[in-house]
Structure 1
């Protein structure tokens, strides 16, 4: 998220990511991109992302703190480049990341934002879009990106804000063997699970972590003794196979 702390955290995350000396194919922002969904916040985000090397693709996923209209006012040129669904109602799209042995490794970004609500939604229209999009690429290796979690974590607070139609999503995904990984944000903590047999990787927040509480929805303060962080997803090719490995990177010591 943006703001004084968010802008500095973004700067630190970019610097630390490139200190790994990795050659990145893309940067994926899983939301929340900003805090209040204001145009000036998205302009601040755009300015912060100029620290990235020129030409590296940036892929955005909207969260419950985001606002579609304000986002597209600042980043609207992305829609002109085809980063939107055919109906134009939701900010969801697919894009090729790279090619491996004549196979396209493809990103599919799903919009779970429901304005005015913290909980994620995947209405029938969005689920149908996902089904149609996956059907278009039967030979690609798919990474599905969404902000809200499609599973329960055991955290009382965040379990009230997961995707409402997560079982219907699981039914859609069960019909395809091409989705290799699901990447989420929202939780402000790193965690992993699986859905329909697909690994789900949740990235920590670049700004701050939330407390892990299994009993009540309320908490007195944000966690300040746990580090912020981000995730590097690396596609590994060895003599036997090719697969994904995800590294959780802390931005500051705990």
Structure 2
């Protein structure tokens, strides 16, 4: 960890996969909150980058709110919608409605300012049906794409980093995103690449894969910085046959980020063992 004082710091976690019945999911989320709080009492924000709940149900959102309310965390908590938020399978509108009601948001995409830096939160506006090309993929409307382009255009000549969050990774970038399941993970992936490539100081955070942060290429820096956020619930990896599988059912990981005047320092955290992930310590100058 750097000895110089950062401008500000924040946490990023994803893939909590919580349900009311699954007490392990409750315990892992509560444990991650406690561990992060012990790391930095003064962190500016906690970002939960999709798949908060596993089944999309209102009672699961209620439980995750209960754990948040009873656990330590920064005052500001921001959310993105993942694919599992749709798993109640009763349609896009009610699924998005439950997420917005929980998060007190008006749309699944929005912007915030933290430490005088721009944070852009994206989110899918559709899911499924099962068997279709959009099942589990991020579907970004023209309105959302144009909104993002406007925000990025304003930041093109700024030297400060811009932090962007979407649950799904961009295909053929991070480790594992060439697996068939992830090749269609964002329907508008080319639009996203074209827009974000116009700003060299973009830091794009994605979850979804649960891939263990110890694998290589869990961070790439071209055409902009792309960062895997790990998973709170369990960790996955390749199955040796072109697919993926759970490699550690006890695994639980996330990120701690420090922002300095000239660089961003990203540390992978192993919540299960309460230790830093040596393979995932990134010092990115800008």
Aligned: 1:184 with 2:206: yes
Instruction: For structure 1, list consecutive stretches of 5 or more residues without a partner in the other structure.
Output: 85-90, 99-103
The Cα RMSD (Å) is: 2.4
Q: Do the aligned partners of 2:45 and 2:74 also contact (CA within 8 Å) in 1? A: no
Shift of 1:106: 1.4
Return the alpha-carbon distance in structure 2 between the equivalents of residues 156 and 206 of structure 1.
22
Instruction: For structure 2, list consecutive stretches of 5 or more residues without a partner in the other structure.
Output: 1-16, 86-94, 129-134, 276-286
Aligned: 1:233 with 2:257: yes
Q: Do the aligned partners of 1:156 and 1:215 also contact (CA within 8 Å) in 2? A: no
Q: Which has the higher contact order (CA 8 A, sep 6+)?
A: 2
Aligned: 1:204 with 2:204: no
Relative distance call for 1:135 and 1:129 in structure 2 (3 A) is same
Return the alpha-carbon distance in structure 1 between the equivalents of residues 125 and 235 of structure 2.
21
1:72 to 100, 121, 133: 100
Q: Do the aligned partners of 1:63 and 1:113 also contact (CA within 8 Å) in 2? A: no
SS of equivalent residue, structure 1 residue 94: strand
Return the alpha-carbon distance in structure 2 between the equivalents of residues 251 and 54 of structure 1.
15
Relative distance call for 1:252 and 1:54 in structure 2 (3 A) is closer
Q: Do the aligned partners of 1:112 and 1:122 also contact (CA within 8 Å) in 2? A: yes
For normalisation by structure 2, the TM-score amounts to: 0.72
Relative distance call for 1:2 and 1:199 in structure 2 (3 A) is same
Return the alpha-carbon distance in structure 2 between the equivalents of residues 115 and 150 of structure 1.
17
Shift of 1:33: 1.1
Shift of 1:2: 1.1
Q: Give the equivalent residue in structure 2 for 1:110.
A: 122
Q: Give the equivalent residue in structure 2 for 1:38.
A: 57
Return the alpha-carbon distance in structure 1 between the equivalents of residues 181 and 250 of structure 2.
18
Relative distance call for 1:234 and 1:60 in structure 2 (3 A) is same
Shift of 1:176: 2.9
Q: Give the equivalent residue in structure 2 for 1:87.
A: none
Shift of 1:53: 4.5
For normalisation by structure 1, the TM-score amounts to: 0.80
Relative distance call for 1:111 and 1:54 in structure 2 (3 A) is closer
Return the alpha-carbon distance in structure 2 between the equivalents of residues 54 and 214 of structure 1.
38
Counterpart mapping for 1:15-164 below 5 A: 15-53=34-72, 56-66=75-85, 67-76=95-104, 78-79=105-106, 84=107, 91-98=108-115, 104-116=116-128, 117-137=135-155, 139=158, 141-152=161-172, 153-154=175-176, 156=179, 158-164=181-187
